[in-house]
Chains A and B, each alone.
Chain A
């Protein structure tokens, strides 16, 4: 049982890591949290599903198109909703993204309704066994993708001009502006990337559970992941995803009989409160010490 729980935790954690990556990217560049991340996930899942089932687009092409749509959506959202809030108090930005999540959820429901839709089989359905532990192949794909994206973004932030520009903007917007960096353009790129990562997560999750609007709740559920890893650390998001995934599965497996079920849902938030009290900047986050 322990091994099964551990492995399930790891693979679920890889999806958390993917979604948390979107949070971290946006926070890194613009110091704000996107409470609508779950809706970006949903858009990715629905668009790809719609392309595949209604238009019989081949799978890879459909994914490519979905990623393009997500990129555009991210830029559009940044331009229309987030840009007026540059330099505004943090409560306005938080509320704006909360409003954005309502807006997007409403529009998604208009288009696709609320019932659960099932993805056609894309990944091979035969589960793989590792030493007696059964894992479905979708999970392996998400694990691989998470690691791939981790490597990609680590290199991206270290070596490309765009990545360095994004780091500069995150560090100090005014200083970045005075160096001739376009902060607005950087924000647009950030949101586009975040939407893209979310779409990947959405497609994978859609393959596991089917697509309905409850998928968007994952956007809130990965907040503990992002905080645990440190809001501005990409390796932190990935590691945090694995830790939370494993912990919640272990807690679910061992504590559910005592608390009447559902411990899995609330465990990440317990962990969250504890982290916030002990190490608010998380495992790898930038330490900002302020004494009052």
Chain B
């Protein structure tokens, strides 16, 4: 839609940041994120940290569900695998957090790939149920292998340090989490410009046709599961490093459902959608609490009602998005942008 662009090579044509204006925009946004913790207080920085972790997890789930079309209700458990890998490696084996972080990703990827193997035979509903079984089995293992995971008491880990800087305070952790999130977003955007990413999308659109075109279905489906679980593992490891205490209730089936809600509200099969969705779902309870506080000043009864209605509200929003905007916030945002770009001639 931008005019005055004359790409003279395929490389230029396929560039992510098409125009100088786009490059400048991205640079400004990154700069804004870098100064963000200096402008707000610690509370908002801590919220931003949770959002950053959720963005990585949501990106992973979107690779699997949005781009490859394989639904998973086990994402929370894969995050748990990552978190507990960090916990066990740092406390039992004395590894540093930085060595444990990638290993957490690989461990989760391995577990994810194993549970992805049934995806060759199972589709849609059955696959959803198989991943639900993965969730339950992993949750059970975490709760009952007390020698390794500490059961319901969990594991307490040392705060990660970078050189002499300890990542205990929110601001220093923010920069670390922001870098990882940025890497994850860029990597995901580029993934879908590559052969592998296109194969994923072919599998989603019609797996039979993809198979006819020479895509090895087992290999790519298992790869999608592994990659998705890798992101989840990293997100889990980050959460472990941030909270410094790893307990099973951070990785229940409700968490898996939250992540599914993120990518559905954000937009299935959209990288930026994962980001919007993660922001939305993390901010939703905070927003409701703020609204309740505001209303509570006038009507104390409604305050309690609003707080109690959080679960209901979450479900309602998911249903409304599914009915009225299945392509999620990413589509809404594009519609808004296009409206202003084309204004006043909306055709």
Question: Which residues of A are interface residues toward B (Cβ below 8 A)?
Answer: 32-33, 81, 84-85, 88, 90-92, 94-96, 98-107, 109-110, 220, 223-224, 227, 231, 259-262, 265-266, 269-270, 272-273, 276-277, 280, 290, 292
Given contacts A91-B65, A98-B257, A109-B311, contact A273 B322 (CB under 8 A): no
CB of B31, distance to nearest CB on chain A (Å): 36
- A107 and B312 form a contact (CB under 8 A): yes
Specify which of A103, A261, A273 is in contact with B312 (CB 8 Å cutoff): A103
Sorted nearest first, the 9 A-B pairs with minimum C-beta distance are A106-B312, A102-B315, A103-B315, A99-B318, A106-B311, A90-B124, A266-B140, A269-B133, A99-B319
- A105 and B132 form a contact (CB under 8 A): no
- A280 and B126 form a contact (CB under 8 A): yes
CB of A255, distance to nearest CB on chain B (Å): 11
Contact with A along B54-69 (1 / 0, CB 8 A): 0000000000010001
By beta carbon, the residue of chain A nearest B319 is A99
- A110 and B309 form a contact (CB under 8 A): yes
By beta carbon, the residue of chain B nearest A102 is B315
CB of B137, distance to nearest CB on chain A (Å): 6
CB of A97, distance to nearest CB on chain B (Å): 9
- A84 and B125 form a contact (CB under 8 A): no
Interface of B is mostly: helix
Specify which of A88, A105, A270 is in contact with B137 (CB 8 Å cutoff): A270
Residues of A with C-beta under 8 A to B217: 292
In whole angstroms, what is the CA distance A114 to B146 when docked?
29
| B71: interface (CB < 8 Å) | yes
Q: What are 29 A-B residue pairs whose CB atoms fall within 8 Å in the complex?
A: A90-B71, A91-B124, A91-B268, A92-B326, A95-B260, A96-B322, A96-B323, A98-B257, A98-B315, A99-B316, A102-B311, A102-B312, A103-B312, A106-B311, A107-B312, A110-B308, A110-B309, A220-B132, A220-B253, A223-B129, A227-B126, A269-B136, A272-B130, A272-B133, A273-B130, A273-B134, A276-B121, A276-B122, A276-B130
By beta carbon, the residue of chain A nearest B257 is A98
Question: Which residues of B are interface residues toward A (Cβ below 8 A)?
Answer: 65, 69, 71, 118, 120-126, 128-130, 132-134, 136-137, 140, 143-144, 146, 207-208, 211, 217, 253, 257, 260-261, 264, 268, 305, 308-319, 322-323, 326
Residues of A with C-beta under 8 A to B133: 224, 269-270, 272-273, 276
In whole angstroms, what is the CA distance A104 to B207 when docked?
35
CB of B69, distance to nearest CB on chain A (Å): 8
Residues of B with C-beta under 8 A to A99: 261, 314-319, 322
